[in-house]
Amino acid sequence: MQNTLWRYFALYRSFFSHNLKNEMIYRANFAINIGLDVFFTMVNVIFFAILYGNIETVGGWTFHQTLIIVGSVGIIRELAYLTFRKGFLELGEYVRTGRFDVMLTAPMNTAAHLAFRHVSLTESLGEGLMGLVLVGYGFAHLDAATWISIPFYCLMLINSLVIYYGFCLMVSSLVFWLIKSQELNTMIYYFMNTARYPRDIYHGLGKTFFTFLIPSSLIATTPAAILTGRIDATLIALSVSVAFVFLTLGLFTWTKSLNHYSSASS
Amino acid sequence: MDKEPQPLQLRKQLKQGQDMAAIEVTHLNKTFKTHKKEAGLKGSFKGFFHRETLYKKAVKSVSFSLEEGELVGFLGPNGAGKTTLLKMLSGILYPTSGKAQVLGFTPWERNPGYQRQFSIVMGQKNQLWWDLPPSESFLLNRDIYGVNHKTFRHTLDEMIELLDLKELLDIPVRQLSLGQRMKCELVASLLHQPRVLFLDEPTIGLDVISQEKIRSFIKTYNQEKKTTVLLTSHYMQDVEQLCKRVLVINHGGIVYDGSLSSLSNRYIDHKVIKIRFAETQSATAPPNIKGIVEWDKHHAVLKIQKKEVAQVTHKLLGDFRIEDLSVEKVEVEEVIRRIFEESPKAELNTQGEDKPHKWIKKPGETP
């Protein structure tokens, strides 16, 4: 078990350095990516600045607290690109062209292989860095900021990453039936886009929908709640359970779909 | 996560059972399912609501076995089921029914212990990183297959030598020619020194010289490493030069399993006699000569039953003044063509109950 863990660490390192070398070849692309990321994050911030010019709080969240939510989404996106996201973006192409075959014959877990094959530092780096700046800026302007909340904030970020991964696994598994993945990727993109609104704006059915069916309301709000001093045991427990359920279901559908690919492709 | 295997221990276990076949396939079947779609928008619309399922038997009750170290060629036209079969033996595809054991493993269980000991190279797909030099892909494969650094260095040097790759190592793969890329693909899949190697059309699209190089590499590699190689190709030369034994597959079933030479003995019952006359003949052939394919004033070509060759030659030499006479064997290529043309009715094909090679409405029973 420990051996396996080490092996996958080493494999990650190896894949990471290969991907980095690959990205370095396209320097212009790299610069444009970062520029676009900064631009769109700024658009987001301006949107909230205008909104908060008219009202004091949204769902009980002040402007600076909301910046922490927006920033957290950026950080989670970058973490996702560093671990698994881009592999799912490419999955449709792999399945369509049959290049996915290699992932089934290599002595390595298929899901890990797909994830590692395209780990990317730079794809979302601009958004990640902007996220860090926003979270730092928001945190500095809080009335009740405590340093002790930072490690818990980080833990919940990882938990959100697990929810995101589980969701991606479930949605992307459909690729093996649909072969086309464009729509699925768009769906996952909007999933993360709705994460930047505070969870407290939803009520009743909407809240249930964005918690259990499409758990995007938990992604950024839970870590941000901790950092802004609203430690809420129920919310944390809810996030952790949703992460567990989504990961389990995600892995289950993934395995089932792999079997479908194996018996259907030619 | 996958189970961590102990290749060394596995190798030992396998060594003990040395008389065991490297590849053992019994009654393997694969049926693909698809939906019928009529042409046009109207057809698409109809298909959206009501679909008819069609079945195609890609592989029909195939059985064969390979000894360790054998180099066997798989011959068959496009769509005969060669690739499907290789994919099942690599664990990419599940069979519909039947059994297969490769090095004692069932391939589609995808045991890492098996995956570390075989390799599949598909001529039409590449696994190298497109924008990076091949040496980078080699390093990554070293890590994926957990090859010891020293062994890796040694194996790589050996293959660089054999394939003459030294100058290619640091050029991005996208700038390599097809032949150069194929060489690198081969290296990438041999770094972990597989005991079984599946090659699917390794020479496809290559020029004659590259084909020749790949061929001689495969030959040397098989002889030196005693690797079991199963090779598909529709270039006859690949098979003629590399394989003592061939499996001919058509419409999903094996129609011949044996040596190339006895293949022609078995399927061709005639020989071709070519004659150059010493003196000008009449433009029309005399009626008492049979089996004429071509006839003019100076030349003639005759197709004669094997057992009658001696008698006919004798008669020809007696009747005409002949400058040159040769009895020629029919090319292997011709033999294969004949098998492919006639195989649905060939005596070895036991599954003739459905229209072979077509999508049919019922899955049909498999023997």
DSSP string of B171-192?
Answer: S-GGGS-HHHHHHHHHHHHHTT
A-to-B residue pairs, Cβ atoms closer than 8 angstroms: 83
CB within 8 Å: A104 and B32: no
Q: What is the DSSP annotation of B141-175?
A: HHHHTT--HHHHHHHHHHHHHHHT-GGGTTS-GGG
Q: Look up the domain containing A259 and give its range.
A: 2-264
The mean of the pLDDT values for chain B is 84
Q: Say if the Cβ atoms of B146 and A107 lie within 8 Å.
A: yes
CB contact under 8 A, B108 and A262: yes
Mean pLDDT is lowest, of B103-107, B325-329, B339-343, for: B339-343
CA-nearest residue to B91 within chain A is: A105
Q: Do B32 and A10 touch (CB under 8 A)?
A: no
Q: Which two tokens stand for residue B119?
A: 């390799």
Q: Which residues of chain B are within 8 Å of residue A259 when distances are taken between CB atoms?
A: 94
Q: For residue B198, what are the β-bridge partners?
A: B120, B230
| B257: helix, strand or coil | strand
Report the C-alpha gap between B274 and B179 in whole angstroms.
39
Q: Are B338 and B268 in contact (CB under 8 A)?
A: yes
Chain segment A87-136, per-residue pLDDT in tens:
999 999 999 888 899 999 999 999 999 999 999 998 899 999 999 999 99
Task: Give residue B366's pLDDT band: very low, low, confident or very high (50, 70, 90).
Answer: very low
Q: What is the pLDDT of residue A32?
A: 87
Is the pLDDT reported for residue B11 higher than 70?
A: no
How close A50 gets to chain B, by Cα (Å)? 45
CB A111 within 8 A of CB A251: yes
Kindly state the average pLDDT of the residues A176-189. 86
Do A21 and B108 lie within an 8 Å CB cutoff? no
How is residue A175 written in tokens? 């690729």
- What residues contact residue A215 under an 8 Å CB cut-off, 6+ apart? A163, A167, A242, A246
Distance from the Cα of B143 to chain A's closest Cα (Å) equals: 7
Give the closest of B94, B116, B131 to A25, CB-based.
B131
| Among A76, A225, A101, residue whose Cα is nearest residue A165 | A76
Of A7, A99, A262, the CB nearest to B94: A262
Task: Say whether B77 sits in a helix, a strand or coil.
Answer: coil
Q: Determine which of B89, B143, B196 to mutate to test the interface with A (most A C-beta atoms within 10 Å).
A: B143
Is there a contact between B132 and A21 if contact means CB atoms under 8 Å apart?
yes
Count of domains observed in chain A: 1
- Both tokens of B352, joined, read 């003739």
Q: B-chain residues within 8 Å CB-CB of A24? A: none
In the predicted model, what is the mean pLDDT of residues B249-262?
Answer: 87
What tokens appear for A149 in the block? 């909340």
The whole-angstrom separation of Cα B46 and Cα B286 is 65
**Greater confidence, A198 or B290?**
A198
Contact A18 B136 (CB under 8 A): yes
Cα A8 to chain centroid distance, Å, stands at 21
Whether A102 sits inside 8 A of B129 (CB atoms) is: no
Residues of A in contact with B127 (CB under 8 A): 99, 102
What pLDDT is recorded for position B343? 53
Q: Which residues of A touch B5 (CB under 8 A)?
A: 107
Its pTM surpasses 0.80: yes
CB–CB contact A11 B87 (8 Å) = no
Tell me the average pLDDT across B301-327: 86
Residue B66 φ/ψ region, left for φ over 0, alpha for ψ in the -120 to 50 degree band, beta for the rest: beta
SS3 A230: coil
B184 has pLDDT over 60: yes
The 10s digit of each residue's pLDDT in B328-346 is 877 777 777 777 776 554 3
Q: How many CA atoms lie within 13 A of B133 on its CB side?
A: 9
Q: Under DSSP, is residue A258 helix (H, G, I), strand (E, B) or coil?
A: helix
